Structure 1
Amino acid sequence: MAKTNPGRFFEDYRIGEVITHAVPRTVSGGERAMYHALYPARHALYSSDEFARDCGLDASPIDDLAAFHLVFGKSVPDISLNAVANLGYAEGRWLKPVWPGDTLRSESKVIGLKQNSNGKSGVVYVKTTGYNQHDEPVLEYIRWVMVRKKDLSADAPDTLVPELKQVVPVEDLVIPEGLDFSRYEFKLAGERHRFGDYEIGEKIDHVDGVTVEEAEHMIATRLWQNTAKVHFDATNREDGKRLIYGGHVISMARSLSFNGLANAQMIVGLNAGAHANPCFAGDTVRAWSEVLDKAETPSPGVGAVRLRLVATKGGIQDFALKGEDGKYLPHVMLDLDYWALMPM
């Protein structure tokens, strides 16, 4: 009897199936230190307990994307170990802050299946939820992944493509309990720009760039216990290159966005996302953002800003996203649509 796990293939999934992912992970302050070592992450709310307390929280939580990577990483052995590509995200919500000492686990429900016309792969849609040690949901999101078939003669499942919201409604965003930006220290945060200073349609070049290193990417992906073969084993790709984990690009771009969006403190909603083109070691990541929408929230001094975050590779930013054919330009690696909380 085989003791090893080759991972699931497209024909192994069933609509409605709930998959409990191994292995629970207790978060420590080391998680934050490693995250800030891997990325130029400087948002004050995630860097300083005292700053967080002045904003109404008990202490500084773990970075929102670090929590996302942890929950995501749990799902990889069951969902995307044999993936061709991680295609997109929708309906993501951060439901509770994650604190050092919390233990996270995750589970996914299969909500859609569609075999590709070539019969060699198919798209699997899952809703993944992360829970803490009190069985409280801390994060949920939908993603869809192209997964290889092992048995090309296996019957195609009935097609079910879920209807997904294009945007998480503002009223469905969860503001952390006690969050209060009425005493917000702009000088300590690093910029003076607040909610009223940003206009819908405004585009911001974040100026800085970081060249991705093979070793840093490998450390990051191991940190999240992400076991996808394409990130570690170069023989899994025809070009012989290790594919940089898409979440690594997300975190790098989000960290670079500090220059111009230092006060977009907390990510609370993930509306959509696409890994437009692959990233490899040696690529230099740059980023720009577009303000898509703004809304007030019931929390004192707290506004919600909807942002498009675009990561590119190469030189000077020109804010170009897609060509005349409607496809992403070759230098665009990430197109992410999210809600962040900002002082009014």
Structure 2
Amino acid sequence: MSKTNPGRFFEDYRIGQVIRHAVPRTVAEGERALYHALYPARHALYSSDEFAAASGLEGSPMDDLIAFHIVFGKTVPDISLNAVANLGYAEGRWLKPVWPGDTLRAESEVIGLKENSNGKSGVVWVRTRGLNQLDEVVLEYVRWVMVRKGDAAAPAPEPVAPELAKSVAPADLVLPEGLDFLQYDFDLAGEPHRWGDYQIGEVIDHVDGVTIEEAEHMLATRLWQNTAKVHFDATFREDGQRLIYGGHVISMARALSFNGLANAQMIVALNGGAHANPCFAGDTIRAWSEVLDKADTHAPGVGAIRLRLVAHKGRAGDHALRGEDGKYAPQVLLDLDYWALMPK
């Protein structure tokens, strides 16, 4: 009997199946330092204990996307080891800050299955929760992924495609306990723009670009213990290229968005997202954002802003999203819809 794990294939999933993922991960300041080395991340709340304390927190929490990547990485051996592509996200919420010293684990429930017409793969929907050492849920989200079939002759399951909310309602946003932006220092944060300075429909070009390197993306993907073959094994794809982990693109675009959105401090919800086209080493990522909505919160001096973050490999100032056929333009890499918290 083989002791190695080939990973799950599409026919191995069942509706209602709950998977507890290995291996718990204790996070420390090293993850923060390496994250800030891999991406040009500069949001003040995640860089300074003093800034965070002035904002009502006990100290600087881990970057929201560190928590996301760690939880996501836990799921890969069970959900997407044999994936063709990660297709999208919905109903994501950050429920508690993650602090240095916390231990994170993850579990997922299969909530949807649909075999593709080619009979060689299918789409799997899972709802994933990240929990800390106190069994508190710190993060939850739905994602769907296209997974290969191990046996093409395996019968197709009854198709189930879950109905997912188009966005997280402002009333369902969870803010960190004690968060208070009444004493917010805009000089130290890096920009003067408040919540009230942004208008729905406004588009912000983030100006800068970063060229993705092969070794850099593999280091980042290993940091999150993401074992998906498409990111490391150049023989796994017919074109012989390693696919850049979609989360690497998310973090790069979020970091680039600092220029124009330095005060969009905390991500609190992931409304939806799509990895529109594959990203490969050598691509230069640029980003722009569109303000989709705004909402008040109960926290002193804190407003919520809903943003569309688009990463692309086009020329500077290119804001094309879709072609005349309605499909994503070929240069678009990421279309991410999220809620963030900003001083009023």
CA deviations over 1:39-77 (Å, ceiling 9, x no partner):
000000000000000000000000000100000000000
Alignment of 1:114-125 (within 5 A): 114-125=114-125
C-alpha displacement of 1:184: 0.2
| Structure 2 equivalent of residue 218 of structure 1 | 218
1:156 aligns with 2:150: no
| Structure 2 equivalent of residue 286 of structure 1 | 286
User: What is the one-letter code of the residue matched to 1:130?
Assistant: G
| Structure 2 equivalent of residue 298 of structure 1 | 298
| Structure 2 equivalent of residue 103 of structure 1 | 103
How far apart, CA to CA, are the structure 2 residues paired with 1:320 and 1:218?
29
CA deviations over 1:276-307 (Å, ceiling 9, x no partner):
00110000000000000000000000000000
| Structure 2 equivalent of residue 66 of structure 1 | 66
Alignment of 1:311-322 (within 5 A): 311-322=311-322
User: What is the one-letter code of the residue matched to 1:301?
Assistant: G
How far apart, CA to CA, are the structure 2 residues paired with 1:281 and 1:323?
25
User: What is the one-letter code of the residue matched to 2:94?
Assistant: W
| Structure 2 equivalent of residue 12 of structure 1 | 12
C-alpha displacement of 1:238: 0.5
Partner-residue secondary structure (3-state), 1:290: strand
User: What is the one-letter code of the residue matched to 1:31?
Assistant: E
User: What is the one-letter code of the residue matched to 2:277?
Assistant: N
TM-score (norm 1): 1.00
How far apart, CA to CA, are the structure 1 residues paired with 2:201 and 2:174?
25
1:197 aligns with 2:212: no
How far apart, CA to CA, are the structure 2 residues paired with 1:171 and 1:222?
36
| Residue ranges of structure 1 left out of the alignment (5+ in a row) | none
Partner-residue secondary structure (3-state), 2:65: helix
| Residue ranges of structure 2 left out of the alignment (5+ in a row) | none
| Structure 2 equivalent of residue 187 of structure 1 | 187
User: What is the one-letter code of the residue matched to 2:215?
Assistant: A
| Structure 2 equivalent of residue 258 of structure 1 | 258
TM-score (norm 2): 1.00
User: Does structure 2 conserve the Cα–Cα contact (< 8 Å) formed by 1:113 and 1:159?
Assistant: yes
C-alpha displacement of 1:318: 2.5
How far apart, CA to CA, are the structure 2 residues paired with 1:66 and 1:286?
21
User: What is the one-letter code of the residue matched to 1:45?
Assistant: L
How far apart, CA to CA, are the structure 1 residues paired with 2:143 and 2:317?
28
Partner-residue secondary structure (3-state), 1:23: strand
User: What is the one-letter code of the residue matched to 2:63?
Assistant: D
C-alpha displacement of 1:319: 1.2
Identity %: 80
How far apart, CA to CA, are the structure 2 residues paired with 1:311 and 1:156?
35
| Structure 1 equivalent of residue 275 of structure 2 | 275
How far apart, CA to CA, are the structure 2 residues paired with 1:112 and 1:319?
33
User: What is the one-letter code of the residue matched to 1:261?
Assistant: L
How far apart, CA to CA, are the structure 2 residues paired with 1:115 and 1:278?
22
| Structure 1 equivalent of residue 43 of structure 2 | 43
1:93 aligns with 2:93: yes
How far apart, CA to CA, are the structure 1 residues paired with 2:317 and 2:108?
37
User: Does structure 2 conserve the Cα–Cα contact (< 8 Å) formed by 1:283 and 1:314?
Assistant: no
User: What is the one-letter code of the residue matched to 1:57?
Assistant: L
CA deviations over 1:164-222 (Å, ceiling 9, x no partner):
00000001010000000000000000000000000000000000000001111010000
Partner-residue secondary structure (3-state), 1:124: strand
| Structure 2 equivalent of residue 176 of structure 1 | 176
C-alpha displacement of 1:272: 0.3
Structure 1 residue ranges, 4+ long, deviating more than 4 angstroms after superposition? none
How far apart, CA to CA, are the structure 2 residues paired with 1:314 and 1:243?
18
User: How many pairs does the alignment contain?
Assistant: 344
CA deviations over 1:133-166 (Å, ceiling 9, x no partner):
0000000000000000011111100111000000
Aligned-pair RMSD on alpha carbons? 0.4
Partner-residue secondary structure (3-state), 1:236: coil
How far apart, CA to CA, are the structure 2 residues paired with 1:8 and 1:290?
38
